[in-house]
């Protein structure tokens, strides 16, 4: 065996020895770790047991505390219930005592009632016997009376009923007269207050318009320039504007004539601009005419807006505003239609405020009810119906349309606002200076009223006074009595309401005079 082999064997042995030692050391270390882990696990388990025991102890304490609180709450509730039961028990006892007292009182009342019934039966028997005696006595007396008066009992009853009826009529007439006088006085005061409030606030401004406008020229020379060479300018002006120019001998004055107020106003503005410019020829006339149309329309629109502003009306269609402005150019009721519509609106507004009616609706209907007069080519349709159609077409409410429509029908309307507008228009028309009835029609109207009154029974004379606002009637005193005069005045008033159309009220006075004449000699 050589040396290298020996070294190899020794190395192997040393390697085996080192592996054994390493395995031994590893085994010792692993056993030590296992032992340490076991001791730590025991410690953890012991600690967990202690914590579990502590948690269990705390839970038991909490449960005991909760049970104690529940027990205290139950005890309080039990005490409260016991107190309530005691109170109810005491109330029941007091009610039982009151019931016992009421029962005793009821027994006493029943006993008294039985005694009263007994007395009542005794009195009833006594009354029956007295009634029988009275009836027998009455028969005897009736027979004696019939024998003395030569009348049967039925005839006497009829005569008595007549007397009672007459007395009842007289008493009823006195009561009715008293009530009516009181009601009329209150109504008269209230109506006087409303009308005075309405009329005193309306100051009429009545610029009268006609079909002719007088135009003042700055000089006589300007008249010749307006006429033009061989009348060329005046013919062109009349053809373009549709308005006739009347030239007379009045110095520095010409007349513009046209039935259409809008055309007349446009022609006036056109002529003003031409005179101001000084250059007058057909082309210039047409140019200023087109400008005048815009100027007049703007002016009319501003007039309509100003009228609505004065009445406190907002949110109205421009077409309706233009129609309201054009009312300024129209005349009616011998006055300006715009002024008439505004006066009507003001009076209607004051009356509506007094009667708690719809003020906004009646204002809009009042200012719009005449706009049908400014429309052209209307055919046979009534201006009021046309005004209602225009109001509906341009966005006014149905209530406004209904008021104007009812005004066109000229009949009594169930709509309060329509009746107020009718009264307000009559008042606006009746203001002194606005209109006056034809004298013949006025006289015929008064004669018709007097003839109607003369046809009534017992009327001797009748006079219509104060423009038909008061009737003075004398009756024949020998034919009628005082009570009949009350019924006569009432019947005449009702007949006037049914047969005569008027605004405001008519006072009916019925007089019965009794004159006694004697002579001393």
Tell me how far apart the alpha carbons of residues 408 and 383 are, in angstroms, rounded to a whole number: 8
Q: What is the pLDDT at residue 442?
A: 61
Instruction: Confirm if 215 and 256 have CB atoms less than 8 A apart.
Output: yes
The verdict on 331 and 368 lying in the same domain is yes
Q: Pick the more confident residue, 412 or 448.
A: 448
Q: Are strands 335-336 and 459-465 parallel, antiparallel or unpaired?
A: unpaired
Tens digits of residue pLDDT in 10-50: 877 888 887 878 888 888 888 778 888 778 878 888 888 88
Q: Pick the more confident residue, 435 or 43.
A: 43
Q: What is the pLDDT at residue 67?
A: 87
Q: Does some domain include residue 164?
A: no
Q: Does some domain include residue 175?
A: no
Report which of 317, 337, 341 is spatially closest to residue 390, judged by C-alpha positions: 317
Cα dist from 53 to 56, 63, 230, whole Å: 5, 15, 137
Q: Which domain holds residue 291?
A: 212-430
Paired tokens of 245: 């120019």
Specify the pTM: 0.45
The verdict on 335 and 457 lying in the same domain is no
Domain stops at, among 102, 121, 150: 150
The verdict on 252 and 369 lying in the same domain is yes
The verdict on 131 and 228 lying in the same domain is no
Instruction: Confirm if 334 and 435 have CB atoms less than 8 A apart.
Output: yes
Tens digits of residue pLDDT in 325-345: 888 887 765 567 888 888 888
**What's the CATH number where 445 sits?**
3.30.300.20
The verdict on 406 and 278 lying in the same domain is yes
Q: 1 CB contacts (<8 Å, ≥6 apart)?
A: none
**Is it the case that residue 107 has pLDDT exceeding 60?**
yes
Three-class secondary structure of residue 287 per DSSP? helix
Tell me how far apart the alpha carbons of residues 458 and 480 are, in angstroms, rounded to a whole number: 6
Paired tokens of 441: 């029609």
Tell me how far apart the alpha carbons of residues 144 and 142 are, in angstroms, rounded to a whole number: 5
Paired tokens of 199: 């009329």
Q: What is the pLDDT at residue 454?
A: 84
Instruction: Confirm if 411 and 356 have CB atoms less than 8 A apart.
Output: no
> What is the CA 454 to chain-centroid distance, rounded?
43
The verdict on 421 and 464 lying in the same domain is no
Instruction: Confirm if 372 and 390 have CB atoms less than 8 A apart.
Output: yes
The verdict on 273 and 393 lying in the same domain is yes
């Amino acid at each position: 065996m050589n040396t290298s082999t020996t070294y190899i064997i020794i190395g192997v042995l040393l390697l085996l020895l080192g592996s054994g030692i390493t395995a031994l050391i590893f085994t010792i270390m692993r056993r030590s770790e296992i032992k340490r882990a076991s001791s730590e696990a025991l410690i953890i388990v012991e600690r967990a047991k202690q914590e579990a025991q502590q948690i269990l102890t705390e839970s038991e304490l909490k449960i005991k505390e909760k049970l104690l609180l529940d027990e205290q709450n139950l005890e309080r509730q039990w005490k409260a219930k016991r107190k309530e039961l005691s109170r109810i028990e005491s109330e029941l006892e007091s009610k039982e005592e009151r019931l016992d007292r009421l029962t005793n009182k009821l027994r006493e009342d029943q006993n008294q009632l039985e005694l009263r019934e007994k007395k009542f039966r005794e009195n009833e028997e006594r009354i029956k016997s007295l009634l029988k005696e009275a009836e027998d006595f009455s028969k005897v007396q009736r027979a004696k009376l019939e024998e003395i008066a030569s009348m049967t009992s039925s005839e006497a009853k009829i005569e008595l009923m007549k007397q009672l009826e007459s007395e009842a009529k007289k008493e009823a007439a006195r009561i009715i007269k008293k009530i009516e006088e009181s009601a009329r006085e209150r109504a008269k005061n209230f109506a006087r207050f409303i009308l005075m409030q309405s009329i005193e606030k309306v100051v009429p401004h009545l610029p009268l318009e006609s079909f002719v406008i007088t135009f003042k020229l700055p000089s006589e020379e300007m008249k010749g320039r307006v006429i033009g060479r061989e009348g060329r300018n005046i013919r062109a002006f009349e053809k373009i504007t549709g308005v006739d120019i009347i030239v007379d001998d009045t110095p520095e004055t010409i007349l513009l004539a046209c039935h259409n107020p809008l055309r007349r106003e446009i022609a006036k503005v056109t002529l003003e601009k031409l005179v101001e410019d000084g250059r007058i020829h057909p082309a210039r006339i047409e140019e200023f005419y087109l400008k005048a149309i815009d100027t007049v329309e703007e002016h009319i629109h501003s007039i309509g807006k100003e009228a609505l502003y004065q009445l406190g009306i907002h949110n109205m269609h421009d077409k309706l505003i233009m129609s309201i402005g054009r009312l300024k150019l129209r005349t009616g009721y011998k006055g300006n239609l715009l002024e008439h519509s505004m006066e009507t609106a003001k009076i209607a507004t004051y009356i509506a405020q007094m009667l708690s009616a719809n003020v906004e609706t009646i204002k809009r209907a009042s200012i719009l009810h005449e706009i049908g007069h400014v429309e052209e080519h209307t055919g046979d349709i009534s201006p009021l119906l046309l005004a209602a159609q225009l109001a509906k077409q341009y966005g006014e409410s149905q209530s406004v349309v209904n008021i104007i429509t009812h005004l066109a029908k000229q009949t009594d309307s169930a709509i309060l606002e329509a009746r107020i507008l009718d009264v307000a228009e009559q008042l606006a028309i009746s203001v002194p200076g606005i209109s006056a009835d034809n004298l013949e029609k006025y006289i015929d109207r008064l004669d018709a009223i007097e003839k109607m009154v003369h046809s009534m029974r017992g009327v001797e004379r009748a006079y219509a006074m104060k423009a038909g606002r008061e009737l003075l009637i004398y009756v024949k005193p020998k034919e009628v009595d005082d009570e009949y005069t009350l019924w006569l005045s009432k019947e005449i008033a009702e007949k006037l309401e049914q047969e005569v159309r008027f605004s405001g009220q008519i006072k009916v006075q019925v007089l019965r005079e009794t004159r006694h004449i004697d002579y001393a000699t």
